[in-house]
Amino acid sequence: MGSHMDRLTIAKSCAAASVLLPCAAVLIWPQTYWLLAIFLGWLTGAAALWIWAERKENEERIERTIHSLQSSSIRTLNHHRHDWMNDLQVLYGYIRLQKLDKTADYVEKIKDRMAAESQIAKLGVPSLVSYIQSFRTITNSLQLKVINRQDIQLSDWPESGKPIAEALIRMINAYRMGVKSGCGDAAVLTVELSKENDALFASFQYEGELTSEQHLADQIKKQLEGALLLPVDLDRPQLKIVLKAELSA
């Protein structure tokens, strides 16, 4: 598909370049009407070729995006199916051994996890919800925990919460790229969202090794440039950051 896109780009460039010759001829012999007619016809054909190639490029971009989303959804579903199969096997083992106390405890654990996933879904911005739910398919070096105990819906914030969602994704990615892999257990990033009056607070707490603390601090400051989420506490980003966004922003 990439080579096909390259051919379409070349076709657009050729269509644009082909107009130069008849255009130059018209400028040199402006009183030659038949030459002007050829130029107009040539220009119409080149424009038609350009529009066709542009549409084909857009169609292929959309097709690639849909394919990427479908692949991500399948990976996410497979991870969830794997988790449920593990849960069922554990419960089955406890039931067979008649360990009812352990069975009840494990059911409570499953309920807590389902409640956490429900809290994430209530954030209301599809791009952010999808990113969080599929995070495990992106990396094994960082475990992401998102806490939304107040059932915050980002749609209450400016532009339906999309700028805030984008800032959260960029922040999480900054930590993801800063993780030092191969250090035993996966690092853990806990993101807790809370609200007070007309303000939204996002707390980032990191536990694990980093490739470079200074690089992480620089990346975080870069990601927050122009964002609605502004730092309240940014002294030690390798440990904890608190960001704030005003509802009236």
Beta strands 199-207 and 187-196: pairing type?
antiparallel
pLDDT at 209: 84
Considering the domain architecture, whether residues 135 and 238 belong to the same structural domain is answered as yes
Which residues are CB-contacts of 79 (< 8 A; sequence separation ≥ 6)?
136, 137
In a domain, 104, yes or no: no
Confidence of residue 240 (pLDDT cuts 50, 70, 90): confident
φ, ψ of residue 244 in degrees (nearest 5): -140, 140
pTM over 0.75, yes/no:
no
pLDDT digit string (tens) for 94-111?
A: 888 888 888 888 888 888
Range 7-19 average pLDDT: 61
Beta strands 142-147 and 187-196: pairing type?
parallel
pLDDT at 190: 92
Considering the domain architecture, whether residues 205 and 131 belong to the same structural domain is answered as yes
**CATH number of 195's domain:** 3.30.565.10
Q: Which of 230, 165, 240, 164 is nearest to 204 (CA)?
A: 240
Number of structural domains in the chain? 2
Tokens 């739910």 belong to residue:
133
Which residues are CB-contacts of 13 (< 8 A; sequence separation ≥ 6)?
none
pLDDT digit string (tens) for 107-157?
A: 888 888 888 888 888 888 888 888 888 888 888 888 889 998 888 888 777
Round to whole Å and give the CA distance between 246 and 202.
Answer: 12
